Amino acid sequence: MRFWVDKWVGGVALREVFPRLFFVAANKESKISENGRFVEGVWMWDFQWRRQIIFQREETMICELIGFIGDVQLGLYMPDMLVWNCDTSRAYTVKSAYDFLVDNGVVLALRRMWKTLVPKKVSLFSWQLLLQALQVHKELVKCDMLFLNESCVLCNYEDEEVNHLFLHFLFLTVYGIRFGIG
């Protein structure tokens, strides 16, 4: 597993949580095992940087990074592996994935979505919105398809992501203007 790129801790890639540290990392594609070593049977993080860390803010970020990944238990002879947290066996099965979707109401919503009396493009859009598969600005930047900032083009304040565009921004513009908030 890659230390900076893969979602191996907290469900997010470390490059997204610590973009400044990712920028100064010597090897952006390094494995987890390449970012530390065992000393007398205890794992010690040992990051490699492109340049010397001289700014206090970067040192603070490194401490935050260590705090963020501190609960991860690394074993001396354990291979890297993904764990499925939606089943007690921690092993992925189609049944456990289906049960997870049913328990969260996603399957029911998807079934009803295709049977509604709306144009298919509305159903398709709703399906992508529900699965958070819309290509909003933040997702395009993450995939290296855009090299601009991730700010919302409508408010230029928050990152452009699905929840911001379709929940927060719409709520504020509709209700905020009516009640004199915005």
Could you tell me if residue 88 is inside a domain? no
Predicted local confidence at residue 150, as pLDDT: 61
Predicted local confidence at residue 47, as pLDDT: 92
- The alpha carbon of 177 is separated from its chain's Cα centroid by a whole number of angstroms, namely 32
Q: Is 103 in the same domain as 42?
A: no
Q: Is 128 in the same domain as 150?
A: yes
- The alpha carbon of 116 is separated from its chain's Cα centroid by a whole number of angstroms, namely 32
Predicted local confidence at residue 170, as pLDDT: 55
Q: Which contacts qualify for 50-58: CB closer than 8 Å, 24 or more apart?
A: 50/24, 50/25, 50/26, 51/24, 53/24, 57/20, 58/20, 58/21, 58/24
Query: How far is the C-alpha of 129 from the C-alpha of 123, rounded, in Å?
Result: 10
Could you tell me if residue 89 is inside a domain? no
Q: Is 72 in the same domain as 1?
A: yes
Max alpha carbon distance in the chain (Å)?
66
Q: Is 50 in the same domain as 26?
A: yes
Total domain count for the chain? Answer: 2
* Positions in the chain short of pLDDT 50: 177-182
Q: How wide is the angle at C-alpha 55 spanned by C-alphas 51 and 57, nearest 5°? A: 120
Q: Is 110 in the same domain as 160?
A: yes
Q: Is 9 in the same domain as 52?
A: yes
Predicted local confidence at residue 181, as pLDDT: 44
Domain that holds residue 137: 94-178
Predicted local confidence at residue 81, as pLDDT: 67
Predicted local confidence at residue 102, as pLDDT: 74
Predicted local confidence at residue 25, as pLDDT: 93
Could you tell me if residue 72 is inside a domain? yes
Q: Is 122 in the same domain as 76?
A: no
Name the β-bridge partners of 37: 44
